[in-house]
Structure 1
Amino acid sequence: MLYLIDKPMAEIGLRTADGDPEAHVILIQDGVYFEPDIDAPVSAVARDVDVRGVSLPPDIDRISYDEVIEILVEQEVRTFV
């Protein structure tokens, strides 16, 4: 399942994703400020990272909004935006 995470709902979203063995987390908008400590793949929207001047740790992948759209079409989504 795909989890879209933004700052206002990040805590509950990350807790929910952490309990899902099939989770893939995408940090979007102000969610890119987080460095989640969860056992799941984590990506961040490159445009949001660049706009906010954030440096990502090496374990967080940068993805484009186009890639997010592709993933949204392919997977079930829970949004915490």
Structure 2
Amino acid sequence: MLYLIDKPMAEVGLRTAAEDPEARIVLIQDGVYLAPDVDAPVSAVARDVDVRGVTLPSDIDRISYDAVVESLVEQEVKSFV
């Protein structure tokens, strides 16, 4: 499942994702400020990273909005935005 996570809802979103062995997390908007300690792949929306001038940790991949939209169509999503 894909988890879209923004900073205001991060605590509940990351806690929910941690219970899902198939979780894939995408940090969006102010969520790109986070450095979640989770056992799941984590990506951050590249445009949000650039706009905020954030340097991502090496274990967080950059992803385009187009790729996020493609993922939304392909799999189930839980939004914490």
AA in 1 matched with 2:40: A
Q: Which runs of 5+ in 2 are unaligned?
A: none
**CA shift for structure 1 position 20:** 0.3
AA in 1 matched with 2:53: G
* RMSD of aligned Cα (Å): 0.3
What is the TM-score of this pair, normalised by structure 2?
0.99
Following superposition, which runs of at least 4 residues in structure 1 exceed 6 angstroms of deviation? none
Q: How far apart, in 1, do the equivalents of 2:67 and 2:58 lie? A: 19
What is the TM-score of this pair, normalised by structure 1?
0.99
Q: How far apart, in 2, do the equivalents of 1:61 and 1:75 lie? A: 19
Which residue matches 1:24? 24
Q: How far apart, in 1, do the equivalents of 2:12 and 2:50 lie? A: 25
Q: How far apart, in 1, do the equivalents of 2:61 and 2:18 lie? A: 18
Which residue matches 2:8? 8
